[in-house]
């Protein structure tokens, strides 16, 4: 950033471009230290200030590191005030185009009190404004802004801890230790570049709520960044003498100047009326509660109370009893010219909450119907009161003495009826616990889903059962009767409601079905394990089972270990839409025959070839040496065990069956005499 500012500075002044002074602050070095404190910082006839001194840089040019600034007409937050810098204040006015980097080699030392306050040992270029004062009230405060060239927009990582230091050191007469008032609000952390910084650079942000901005070129001051307006404040004892020392210095070396801007007229000697009573801080006044505030000050000659900057008629006593919300201040008069205002006391009232609903009913949502279910306590919270403000935090507890809040999704522990308690968590002392009644109704009737078949060209009546107060089917359009009639497959859901207004849903799965169409039977015979596979048409709708005797059914469509012979297969629709059947034949060859003239098994032939349209197949029979003994048409002949009219001896013979479907079967059999 510093190199960029130097380049911009050279370009701006090299080209002779002039920035209008109206948009930038101006500084004035002619004010005396007494004038800076009495007329600029305090600017009140109530001031009792003395022993004012200031010290800073000993520049050869005579320029100063302290003085008055005027920001009228600019965007700078203060209109005017005091500036204390670690460099020349003449470098402070904008625009932000070059690096303010003064004070090297002139013997400008740091400050030991600042070192002690910040735990340092290496400060340089200290500018100090200090004075004694006697407060009229019990509190002092003033406003300030910390600005610095060390707020770099593009730093290297080793520059993240570069920071100048400053402190507002206060001590009562006779005390030895200072109190530093220049701290991050609500902490003891001194305000510096690395303790109040915004995001957007490689350096970590810190206390961003109090950081204003990294500045571009067009800014009323010539500093790279600054804090927001911060307030230095402390309790004091009226009438006691205090010393305050306002000091800023470079840390480590003279490089990269910083400055403190003190808001003109912001130094306040007024009285502190006490802590604000706000909903946000959990301590508002309760409905119909009053608060008496005491502003009594020794030496005061009069009082005037204000609400929302408006005079409260007749409120001229040291005490005032507050009965309504508002911003309260009091002017305390010391003679005819001095009337320092107090701080502003902000008062809010807690709402008088009105119960809207404290009975909440749910139905038992699970299957065991034990009178327990889940309640959404966020929903209950929003329905409990008619006028619950959005910033009120409510938690729920099982008993009034419990400190363990219930989860948002809470399952009651007492079946059917339980009382829990709602508690306003962020406002203390205004509300007791509110009882909330949880009721769980049950639906004890068991509704079992059903799967039903619907045969082709048929209708089906679906019945949800009696005894319910209402019915709703998921048909299009919805139907609201106990029974409906359907003529197509699908999922039909009915939601039934009982007398407790609890509902359950039953699903009827209607599966379209019909009698099977047997498309083919794939036979694998002439095997050790003959089988038949029943093929059903893809257009068949049902879920089928298979049998060879119409008694014993199986889910598989394959039958195995079938002997030679005639079979009838039965295909039954499980949804009772009917049975389809077909006859088929298993072929096999005899393993032996006995041509002994008893008219039983006297010839060797293969049965049922005609039934399979294989009657024109050719059979060739061979002896053990491969000699052709017999060849004949399976449709017309059989072999009687002879060759050329002579009986052949008992032995094994071989055959070849050439089927008309192109398949060839080979095997052997035995001739027994």
pLDDT at 131: 96
User: Going by C-beta distance under 8 Å and a sequence separation of 6 or more, which residues neighbour residue 470?
Assistant: 480, 496, 497
Q: What is Dmax (Cα atoms) for the chain?
A: 163
Q: What is the pLDDT of residue 14?
A: 41
Kindly state whether residues 507 and 529 are assigned to the same domain. Answer: no
The token pair that represents 201 in the structure block: 């650079």
Q: Is residue 225 part of a domain?
A: yes
CA atoms within 13 A on the CB side of 488: 2
Distance of CA 164 to the CA centre of its chain: 40
Domain count, the chain: 6
My answer on whether 150 and 253 are in the same domain is: yes
**Are residues 101 and 218 located together in one domain of the fold?**
yes
Residue 8 lies in a domain: yes
The pLDDT of 267-285, averaged and rounded, is: 90
- Which band of pLDDT confidence, cut at 50, 70 and 90, is reported for residue 251? confident
| pLDDT higher than threshold 80 for residue 4 | no
Residue 297 is assigned to a structural domain of this protein: yes
Distances (CA, A) of 377 to 374, 394, 412, 531, 533: 9, 10, 11, 67, 63
- Residue 166 sits in the same domain as residue 209: yes
Residues 44 and 135 in one domain: yes
**pTM of this prediction?**
0.57
R_g of the chain, CA atoms, integer Å: 52
The token duo for 475 is: 């048909």
Give residue for tokens 């009827």.
508
- In the listed set 410, 441, 472, which residue is the last one of a domain according to the structure? 441
Q: Do 94 and 185 share a domain, yes or no?
A: yes
CB 341 within 8 A of CB 139: no
Indicate if the pLDDT at residue 122 is higher than 90.
Answer: no
Nearest to 82 by CA among 54, 48, 61: 54
CATH number assigned to the domain comprising residue 652: 2.60.40
CATH number at residue 533: 2.60.40.10
Task: Say if residue 435 is in the same domain as residue 318.
Answer: no
Q: Beta 434-441 vs 359-363: how paired, if at all?
A: parallel
**pLDDT, average across residues 219-245:** 94
Q: Is residue 67 part of a domain?
A: yes
Q: What is the mean pLDDT of residues 616-638?
A: 91
* Domain annotation covers residue 353: no
pLDDT digits (tens, 9 = 90+) for 468-508: 999 999 999 999 999 999 999 899 999 999 999 999 999 99
First vs last C-alpha separation in the chain: 121
User: Are residues 255 and 303 part of one domain?
Assistant: no
The verdict on 179 and 83 lying in the same domain is yes
Grade residue 22 by pLDDT with cuts at 50, 70 and 90.
Answer: low
Task: Write down which residue in 441, 470, 485 finishes a domain.
Answer: 441
For 611, phi then psi, to 5°, come to -65, -20
Helix and strand element counts for the chain (H, E): 4, 44
Single out the residue in 467, 493, 513 at which a domain terminates.
513
Asked whether residue 271 is assigned to any structural domain, the reply reads: no
Give me the domain span that covers residue 305. 291-347
The alpha helices in 45-148, defined as continuous H runs, are 112-118
> For the segment 172-214, what is each residue's pLDDT rounded down to a tens digit?
999 999 999 999 999 999 999 999 999 999 999 999 999 999 9
Residue 339 belongs to a domain: yes
432 & 475 share domain:
no
Instruction: Tell whether 89 and 142 lie within a shared domain.
Output: yes
Highest mean pLDDT of the ranges 54-58, 109-113, 557-561: 557-561
What φ, ψ does residue 434 adopt, rounded to 5°? -105, 120
Helix/strand/coil (H/E/C) assignment for every residue in 545-588: EEECCCCCCECCCEECCCCCEEEEEEEEECCCCCEEEEEEEECC
Both tokens assigned to 603: 């010839």
654 and 602 belong to one structural domain: yes
Distance CA 342, CA 355 (A): 40
Q: Which of 196, 245, 219, 237 is nearest to 37 (CA)?
A: 245
Q: Any alpha helices (H) in 299-390, and if so which ranges?
A: 377-384
Nearest of 254, 190, 261, 195 to residue 223 by alpha carbon: 261
CB 185 within 8 A of CB 191: no
Within-domain flag for 76 = yes
Higher pLDDT, 456 or 563: 563
In the block, which residue shows the tokens 């709708």? Answer: 541
- Least confident interval from 271-275, 398-402, 589-593: 271-275
């Amino acid at each position: 950033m510093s190199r960029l500012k130097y380049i911009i500075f050279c370009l701006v002044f090299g080209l002779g471009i002039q920035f209008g002074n109206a948009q930038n602050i101006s500084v004035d070095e002619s004010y005396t230290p007494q004038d800076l404190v009495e007329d600029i910082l305090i600017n009140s006839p109530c001031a009792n200030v003395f022993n004012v001194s200031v010290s800073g840089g000993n520049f050869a040019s005579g320029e100063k590191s302290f003085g008055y600034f005027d920001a009228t007409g600019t965007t700078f937050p203060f209109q005017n005030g005091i500036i204390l810098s670690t460099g020349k204040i003449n470098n402070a006015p904008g625009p932000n185009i070059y690096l303010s980097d003064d004070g090297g080699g002139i013997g400008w030392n740091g400050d030991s009190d600042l070192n002690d306050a910040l735990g340092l040992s290496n400060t340089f270029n200290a500018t100090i404004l200090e004075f004694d004062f006697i407060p009229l009230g019990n509190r002092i405060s003033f406003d300030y802004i910390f600005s610095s060239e060390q707020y770099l927009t593009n730093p290297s990582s080793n520059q993240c801890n570069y920071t100048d230091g400053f402190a507002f050191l206060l001590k009562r007469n006779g005390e030895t230790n200072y109190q530093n008032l220049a701290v991050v609000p609500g902490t003891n952390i001194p305000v510096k570049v690395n303790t109040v910084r915004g995001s957007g650079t490689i350096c970590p942000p810190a206390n961003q709520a109090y950081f204003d901005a990294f500045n571009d070129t067009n800014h009323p001051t010539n500093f790279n960044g600054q804090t927001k307006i911060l307030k230095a404040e402390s309790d004091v004892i009226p009438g006691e003498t205090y010393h305050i020392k306002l000091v800023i210095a470079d840390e480590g070396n003279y490089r990269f100047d910083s400055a403190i801007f003190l808001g003109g007229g912001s130094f306040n000697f007024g009285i502190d009326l006490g802590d604000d009573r706000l909903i946000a801080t959990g301590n508002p006044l309760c409905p119909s509660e009053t608060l008496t505030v005491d502003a009594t000050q020794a030496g005061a000659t009069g009082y005037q109370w204000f609400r929302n900057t408006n005079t409260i008629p007749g409120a001229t006593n040291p005490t005032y009893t507050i009965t309504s919300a508002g911003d309260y201040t009091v002017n305390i008069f010391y003679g005819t010219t001095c009337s320092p205002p107090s701080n502003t006391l902000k008062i809010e009232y807690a709402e008088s909450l009105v119960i809207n609903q404290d009975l909440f009913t749910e139905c038992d949502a699970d299957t065991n119907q034990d009178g327990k279910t889940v309640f959404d306590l966020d929903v209950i919270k929003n329905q409990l009161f008619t006028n619950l403000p959005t910033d009120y935090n409510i938690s729920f507890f099982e008993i009034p003495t419990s400190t363990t809040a219930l989860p948002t999704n809470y399952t009651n522990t007492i079946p059917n009826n339980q009382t829990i308690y709602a508690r306003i968590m962020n406002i203390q002392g205004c509300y007791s616990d509110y009882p909330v009644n949880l009721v769980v109704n049950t639906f004890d009737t068991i509704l079992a889903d059903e799967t039903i078949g619907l045969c082709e060209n048929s209708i089906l009546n679906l019945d949800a059962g009696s005894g319910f107060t209402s019915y709703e089917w998921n048909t299009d359009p919805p139907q609201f009767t106990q029974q409906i009639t359907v003529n197509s497959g699908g999922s039909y859901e009915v939601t039934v409601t009982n007398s407790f207004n609890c509902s359950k849903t039953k699903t009827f799965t209607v599966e379209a079905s019909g009698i099977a169409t047997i498309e083919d039977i794939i036979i694998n015979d002439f095997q050790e394990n003959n089988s038949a596979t029943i093929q059903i048409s893809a257009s068949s709708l049902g879920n089928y089972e298979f049998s060879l005797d119409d008694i014993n059914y199986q889910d598989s469509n394959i039958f195995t270990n079938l002997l030679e012979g005639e079979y009838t297969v039965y295909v039954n629709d499980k949804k009772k839409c009917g049975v389809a059947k077909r006859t088929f034949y298993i072929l096999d060859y005899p393993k032996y025959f006995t041509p002994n003239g008893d008219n039983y098994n006297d010839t060797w032939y293969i049965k049922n070839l005609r039934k399979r349209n294989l009657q024109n197949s050719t059979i060739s029979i061979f002896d053990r040496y491969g000699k052709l003994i017999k060849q004949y048409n399976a449709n017309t002949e059989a072999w009687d065990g002879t060759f050329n009219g002579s009986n052949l001896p008992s032995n094994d013979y071989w055959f070849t069956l050439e089927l008309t479907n192109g398949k060839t079967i080979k095997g052997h059999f035995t001739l027994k005499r």
